[in-house]
Amino acid sequence: MFGYDRKRVLAAGSLAGGKNNKVGGAEWGVSIPPDWKISKKLDSTVRISGETVLIAQDPSIKAEIKINKLPLGRGAAANFEPEEQLALAEIFSAAPRTRGGVDRASQERVAAVMERTLARQVAGQRSATRAYRVRPEDTGGYVDGAGRRYVVYGYDSDRCAGPVDYDGVCEAGTVPRRSLAVVTVGLELQARTLQEKRLMEAGEMERREIDVLWVATVSAPPKRFTGLTGELLADVATSFELEPILPITGRGK
């Protein structure tokens, strides 16, 4: 599958008519086609909390990208078991400028953790996702210029076409979606205020850091993940990077 063949999908994007626009905030960046509409964008957050930092869509092909961040630790307990959080932090540990890729075993471990999280979400009574099927052929990975590792995984799902009521009933029926997601972990300053953050950055206050999980997900109807359109959707997903100002998580090698 094309999802993790980064050189090929970036080349496909350049051939498809038009250069994607780089959008992002202080901690993250991604390239999206110029005709995609941004409905939410957070440039930066001071306090460490779970956030959706970007939502953008192309209504013409019913495609969407959503980027979420989630601090690991107590705040992630509803989504990840402690051993799963530790595994994610260890897998994404790497010294800056590391050029090696993400080995296949690590890719599969990350994909398995994310699949279990998806299963927990689907089991929720009011989840909009009613069923899912993993796509092992989409699993892959890449490394950015700073040596940060990213893992790609994919899945098909049936999503409620309308709101889910209080009893978990989806009266509107379901529609099929295919998702290609990119995940990584980075360190962030655990500051309570902007002033604390500035003091930590200046070395005038003890630095408190926390591992933060980032997930960028591109989704669309399954038929859109074919041909040139499919290559471009993979281009968008695999253009996701954390900015160099975010240290790579320090656990492991």
Identify whether 29 is part of a domain: no
Q: How many domains does the chain have?
A: 1
| Residue at 93 is within a domain | yes
pLDDT of residue 175: 95
Q: Please list, in sequence order, all residues whose beta carbon lies within 8 angstroms of the beta carbon of residue 204, skipping any fewer than 6 positions away.
A: none
Range of the domain at 91: 43-190+222-242
Are the C-beta atoms of residues 228 and 16 closer than 8 Å to each other? yes
Structure tokens at 58: 């192309």
- What pLDDT, in 10s, does the model give residues 130-173? 899 999 999 999 988 888 899 999 999 999 998 888 888 888 88
- The model's pTM is 0.84
In a domain, 195, yes or no: no
Q: Read off the tokens for 64.
A: 């969407």
In a domain, 52, yes or no: yes
The residue whose two tokens read 């980064």 is 6
In a domain, 11, yes or no: no
Question: Any idea what the Cα angle at residue 61 is, between residues 55 and 63, rounded to 5°?
Answer: 25
Both tokens of 65, joined, read 């990208």
Q: Is residue 100 part of a domain?
A: yes
> What per-residue confidence (pLDDT) applies to 36?
96
- What is the per-residue pLDDT for 3? 42
Positions of the chain with pLDDT lower than 70, given as ranges: 1-18, 44-48, 94-100, 189-194, 197, 200-201, 207, 244-253
Q: Is residue 186 part of a domain?
A: yes
- For residue 4, the one-letter residue type is Y
Tokens of 220: 């669309």
Identify the CA nearest to 231 among candidates 66, 60, 7: 7
What's the mean per-residue pLDDT of the chain? 83
Is 79 within the bounds of a domain? yes
CA–CA dist 215, 99 (Å, integer): 22
pLDDT on residue 79:
86
- DSSP string covering 120-180: HHHHSTT-SEEEEEE-GGG-EEEE-TT--EEEEEEEEEEEESS---TTS--TT-EEEEEEE
